[in-house]
Structure 1
Amino acid sequence: MALLAASALSVSVEPSAAVTAGMREFPAAGTFTFVVPLDVTGLHVDAWGAGGGGSGAILAGGPPPLGFSRAGFGGGGGGYVHGALTVLPGQQIAITVGVGGAGGAVGSGGPVGVSGSTGATTSVSRGGTELMRADGGKGAGIFPVTSAGGVAPAPTALGGGGVVRPGGKPGGTIDGQTGPGLAPSDVLRTPGCGDGGAGGSYIGSADQGSPGSSGGPGCLVISWT
């Protein structure tokens, strides 16, 4: 399967011929239209929200050696949802795959402006009605306010028979990352999908520190039998 180009992408997928089984993967952030194939009346959907951004290194009191400094924290992994949808051949299913949260900048002169941002939601809708969603992971905070880093969404009840699993545990310092929501081992997931961004590094008094990295985009897989 070819990977779709990331960022604000809008794609319409034409209906396929009658089939007994199939799968479509949406591994990049953007908005898409999936047209239900001929003779298909049920879809299985696996979706991951985007990861939260890591926080930047903190230079408390200014660039070293003026004050206490430390590495950032990893962002939270995006949540995971699985659901079964009843559909009709030719119906249009709207898909939004969330973009990863931005990484935080390096803080200079104090812990300001270094938090990562929350990853965006991945969702499935039909006729303007949201059927299922996987929320994005939280952006990592700054020391000492939220020193544990980002967290993934709590489980919530969803339509379409979906059940959310929360994302992985918060990341550590330096280049820590978090995993996305956990799916069964046999479920396809694009590498990096839903991962939390790494925290910015800081390794010594001569180091000016680095910003946090962005969280991974969400992804979504539709299959039918």
Structure 2
Amino acid sequence: MRRALIGKKKKLFIQRFYPAGTYNWPVPPGCTEIDVFLVGAGAGGGNGYGVYGGGSGYTKTYKKSNTSSGSYNSWVKDGDAIRVTPGQQIKIVVGKGGLGGVNTSGRNPRYGEDGGATSVVVGNTTYIAEGGKAFKGETDSTGKQILPSGGVACSAAGGWGPAADASYSDGQQPPERSGVILGTSQGHTTRDFGEIEFEPNAGGTSGGKGGYGTKKYEPLRSTGHTEGSGQDGSSYSGYDTYAESEGGAGYGGAGGVGGCHETSGRPHGSGKGGDGGDGTVVIRYWA
């Protein structure tokens, strides 16, 4: 086999693993190292009384190059390219998106679930990108709600108020808001390997409900890639007091929050929260 490869020029290959599940990848002939980009799965959003969408999946990058163009702030890779041996079996687990909170009648909050971790096992070493975190109703000692953390942008949506933002900008930390404690953004790239040649396609974050009695402040989907996006929250009545929000775009996108009906003298109820999007793994190699 070695003799057959002499004089042949190596070619660049890029292989993506999606949707959620377990994969076994044999290292091809002539390949001795790989660049790996991992995205954890997104968290599910709460139902209409669960208030908030989830956090997006975290990203991790291992590569030979130090290039980090097109990324927000001072992003740095997590490690060098991974050494492998031709014929070696690489185990890959792509995280599954967290379920959204179920719809209910009455004022019953149901929160989403955390997203599943994504991992790559090479020999005795496991490389992991954690899933996004779901809002679970936690508050601090002063009663402020603690929003979930996410991979490239935590859910900083409007909830009961007018502010509603969904971040999709290469790891930017959303701005501070009164009345809540923001989850922490990982500050990593949304682009494969942190390189501007790739579109922002990972870790979109969902918004929360729109403003009272109007869709003026209805959160918008974080723009970008479709595959792996979080599901939209669902409406409860079709004329909800608080509108449902859209899921985050891109692999590991977070689920949106459901709408709810909150008008005196009418039945109360909430729509279902959206499920989080599955994560992904991208392997880049020469062979």
State whether TM-score is above 0.5. yes
Partner residue in 1 for 2:274: 213
Which amino acid letter does the alignment assign opposite residue 152 of structure 2? Answer: G
Partner residue in 1 for 2:134: 139
Which amino acid letter does the alignment assign opposite residue 118 of structure 2? Answer: T
Is this contact kept in 2: 1:52–1:78, CA < 8 A? yes
Indicate whether 1:122 and 2:122 are aligned. no
Larger radius of gyration: 2
Query: Share of identical aligned residues, percent?
Result: 29
Partner residue in 1 for 2:3: none
Partner residue in 2 for 1:194: 252
Q: CA 1:81–1:146 in 2, change beyond 3 Å: closer, same or farther?
A: farther
Query: Which of the pair is proportionally richer in strand?
Result: 1
Shift of 1:211: 1.3
Shift of 1:111: 4.2
| Secondary structure in 2 matching 1:51 | coil
In 1: Cα distance, 2:144 partner to 2:120 partner? 32
TM-score by length of 1: 0.70
Aligned length: 182
Shift of 1:57: 1.4
Equivalent position to 1:27, from 18, 22, 25: 18
Which amino acid letter does the alignment assign opposite residue 189 of structure 2? Answer: L
Equivalent position to 2:147, from 130, 146, 149: 149
In 1: Cα distance, 2:42 partner to 2:12 partner? 31
Is this contact kept in 1: 2:117–2:129, CA < 8 A? yes
Two-structure CA RMSD over aligned residues (Å): 2.8
In 1: Cα distance, 2:253 partner to 2:118 partner? 14
Which amino acid letter does the alignment assign opposite residue 219 of structure 1? Answer: T
Gap runs ≥5 in structure 1: 1-16, 59-70, 153-165
Partner residue in 1 for 2:88: 91
Q: CA 1:201–1:146 in 2, change beyond 3 Å: closer, same or farther?
A: farther
Which amino acid letter does the alignment assign opposite residue 19 of structure 2? Answer: A
> Residues 15-54 of structure 1: matches in 2 within 5 Å?
19-54=10-45
Partner residue in 2 for 1:56: 47
Equivalent position to 1:167, from 131, 152, 168: 152
Q: CA 1:210–1:102 in 2, change beyond 3 Å: closer, same or farther?
A: same
1:189-213 CA-to-partner distances (Å, cap 9, x unmatched) read: 4632111110111254256320111
Gap runs ≥5 in structure 2: 1-7, 63-80, 172-187, 202-224, 230-250
Q: CA 1:223–1:92 in 2, change beyond 3 Å: closer, same or farther?
A: same
Which amino acid letter does the alignment assign opposite residue 170 of structure 1? Answer: S
1:144-192 CA-to-partner distances (Å, cap 9, x unmatched) read: 677353212xxxxxxxxxxxxx331214238976658533243464632
| Secondary structure in 2 matching 1:199 | coil
In 1: Cα distance, 2:144 partner to 2:93 partner? 30
Shift of 1:19: 4.5
In 2: Cα distance, 1:147 partner to 1:90 partner? 51
